[in-house]
Structure formats: structure tokens, C-alpha cells
Amino acid sequence: MDWGTILGNAISQIASPTTAAYALAAIGISVHFGYTGLLNFGQAGFMAIGAYAFAIATLGFGWPVWAALLMVILASVVFAFILGLPTLRLRADYLAIVTIAAAEIVRYVVSTTGLTPVTGGASGLSGFSGGFYALNPIPEGTYGFGPFTYTADGWWVRIVGWTLVAIATVLVWLLMRSPWGRVVKGIREDEDAVRSLGKNVYSYKMQSLVLGGVLGGLAGFVFILPRAVQPGNYGTALTFFIYTLLLLGGAATVFGPIVGAMIFWVVLSLSNGIIVGLVESGIVSFLTPDQAGQIRFIIVGVALMLLVIFRPQGIFGNKKELSFSV
């Protein structure tokens, strides 16, 4: 087993654009679930909407990057309204069911054969990021040290991804220390009480849904920069990965989503590397390499269960809140 490569791969996950995308999506879920108490189980749908909006605006309409990004935001806002209008007056579980259903509808629709000219059908879209990399101000070459050595484009996508994460973190922090944040946190605790104090709960929930959804859409944009858009990536498992890492870091904490995303990917890459290494070196003989690749899902599933039972406030969350649980 090549421990150097396994460790190097794991460590490099800390800064990877995928980690940034997950962190961004998780900040969105922290706004929904952590602060407002909205059970959005369709974050994968928001990411798909963002990804396809960017790719289609670029490939289909030939729009420049900034316009495609506006499209990402607009599409996420519209999607949030579609989800929110029927459900935000209802009990929390309805939102859960409707959001997860809507995310699946999005996946079915973008992969349907009839829409292949627009969405690429089951094989998805690629070749949309030329405009984005053309904006890269960094001269060609390779920079960095150790596992953090990237090409100019590698740096560019990381800089943009993590800058978006930083902006989102600051924005959410500013909002949550304000009276606006107080209202949404109140809604998380008991929306009838907040309603009885003269706050338009429906409107606040909608604002929160839109904010977190736009962050999810932007996460979809970051997610596809290093890869193609493929409908298979936006299954429900993606949403639950995001919940797992958010619960890992702490659902209602400022840095929880970032720390959670980093730990999540480092641990996943590490365990995956070790298991695959064990299988390939013949130490573990009852698994095929393919099966070894699936173990990560089992690990995530079990981790999600353990976290939510034993540390619902996250591994770094506030001890005091533990006594009242979620």
C-alpha cells in the first residue's frame, strides 16, 4: 500500500473545488435547517438547477460567465419559490417530502431523452467552462507545494470556489447576528410563537429558502467547474452527504459547514484509499475493488446515524445546546 499517495490524496481534499462546492451547499442547508428549521431535503436539486443553468446559458445561449451566473441565481430563486409556495404553510415534514420529490423531478427531467438537445439527456453536458477559465488572470504554470500543487486553472477554480464560500460565510454570519436572524431562529424553535409576535413567518421562511437555495445553486456552479454536468451526480445521496457533513461540523455554527466539508472529504478519501489499498494488496480478499468503492456510502450512512443520535449539535457544537437537543 502506498501510504504517501493515500495521505496526499486525503490531505489535498481540504482545498479541492468539490469540497468548496459541498461547503457552499452546506452553508445553504445551515440557513435552512440549522437556523430556520426548514427540512430541505432537495439541496441536490438546487445544485442541479445551478449546474444546468450555468451550462445551458453558456452552451445553449452563448452567454458570458457573469450572465450565466445571474442565470444560476435567478433559476435558484424561481425553484425556491416553486418549492416554497405550496409547502411553507404546512408542517415541516411536507417540505421534506416535497423538496426531495422536486429534486428527483429535476433529475428525471434533465435526463429525459426528449430534452437531449438542451440538457444532454442521460450523458449530460460538458465543454461549458472555457469562458470561466479564459478569465483566469494567473499565468500558465504549476504552483504550490506537496499535495497542494496545482496548475494555473487548478488555482483559479479553487480561488473562485473558496472565495464564494468565504462571502457566503460572512453574509450568513452578518444575517444571523441581526434581528432577521433572530426571527428565523425563533421560527426554528416555534413558528406559532413567532407568528403571535406579529412576524410574517411565511415570508421569512421563503426568504430563508431562497437564500439557502441560491447558495445551493452557486454550489452547483462550483461543483461542475472541474467536471462535466451529469444527471447521475444529483441523486438524493448528494443531499444526505451534505446533511452528514453539516451535522459533523455543527448545523447552526458559522464555520460548521466549512470544517464539516473538509473533515468529510478527508475522512472519506482516507478510508476509501485504505480500503481500496487493502483490497488491491490482497489483504482483504472478500471484497472486489468495486465493492470497496461502495463502502464509503455505508460509512457515511452510519456516521449520519451516529452523529444525529449522539452529537446533534456537531462535533464542535455548543455543549450547552446538547441538553435540549434539536
* Choice between 121 and 147, CB closer to other proteins: 121
Return d(Cα 120, Cα 141) in angstroms, integer: 33
Shortest Cβ 99–other proteins spacing (Å): 10
- The answer to whether residue 325 forms part of the interface with other proteins (CB under 8 A) is yes
116 binds other proteins (CB under 8 A): no
Residue length, the chain? 326
244 contributes a contact to other proteins by CB under 8 A: yes
Nearer to other proteins, 140 or 192 (CB): 192
Cβ neighbours for 35, distance < 8 A, ≥ 6 positions apart:
172, 176, 181, 184, 185, 188, 208, 252
- If binding is defined by CB under 8 A, does position 300 make contact with other proteins? yes
Q: If binding is defined by CB under 8 A, does position 78 make contact with other proteins?
A: no
Q: Which is nearer to other proteins, 5 or 178 (CB)?
A: 178
Of 86, 83, 75, 11, give the one whose Cα is nearest residue 40: 83
Q: Which of 142, 291 has the CB closer to other proteins?
A: 291
Hey, which residues between 5 and 64 contact other proteins (CB under 8 A)? 39
CA distance 106 to 203: 25
Minimal distance, residue 102 CB to other proteins, in Å: 7
**CB nearer other proteins, residue 181 or residue 220:** 181
* Residue 111 touches other proteins, criterion: CB under 8 A: yes
Sequence letter at residue 306: L
- Asked whether position 322 contacts other proteins by CB under 8 A, the answer is no
Q: Which is nearer to other proteins, 68 or 165 (CB)?
A: 165
* Choice from 3, 66, 105, 149 touching other proteins (CB under 8 A): 105
The only residue of 127, 285, 309, 319 in contact with other proteins, by rule CB under 8 A:
309
| Residue 144 DSSP one-character state | E
Contact at 8 Å (CB) between 214 and 80? Answer: yes
Min dist CB 323 to other proteins, Å, is 8
Contact letters for other proteins, residues 166-205 (x by CB under 8 A): -----x--xx-xxxxxxx-xx-xxx-xxxxxxxxxx----
107 close to 233: Cβ distance less than 8 angstroms: no
Which long-range CB contacts under 8 A does 236-239 form with residues at least 24 apart? 236/41, 236/44, 236/100, 236/103, 236/104, 237/44, 237/297, 238/43, 238/44, 238/47, 239/41, 239/42, 239/43, 239/44, 239/100, 239/103
Q: In the range 247-276, which residues lie near other proteins by CB under 8 A?
A: 247
Burial track 173-187 (b if 16+ CB lie within 10 A, e otherwise): eebbeeeebebbbbb
285 part of the interface to other proteins, by CB under 8 A: no
Measured from the CB of residue 9, what is the shortest distance to other proteins in angstroms?
21
CA distances for 152 relative to 140, 174, 200, angstroms: 5, 33, 48
Residue 32 and residue 188: Cα distance in Å, rounded? 9
Q: How many CB atoms lie within 10 A of CB 322?
A: 14
Q: Which of 4, 139, 285, 320 binds other proteins (CB under 8 A)?
A: 320
Q: Measure the CA–CA gap between 311 and 320, rounded to whole angstroms.
A: 12
Q: How many residues touch other proteins (CB under 8 A)?
A: 79
Q: What is the DSSP letter of 139?
A: P
Shortest Å, Cβ 153 to other proteins: 33
Identity of the residue, 127 or 323, whose beta carbon is nearer to other proteins in the bound complex:
323
Q: Which of 243, 249, 257, 276 binds other proteins (CB under 8 A)?
A: 243
| Minimum CB distance to other proteins, residue 69 (Å) | 20
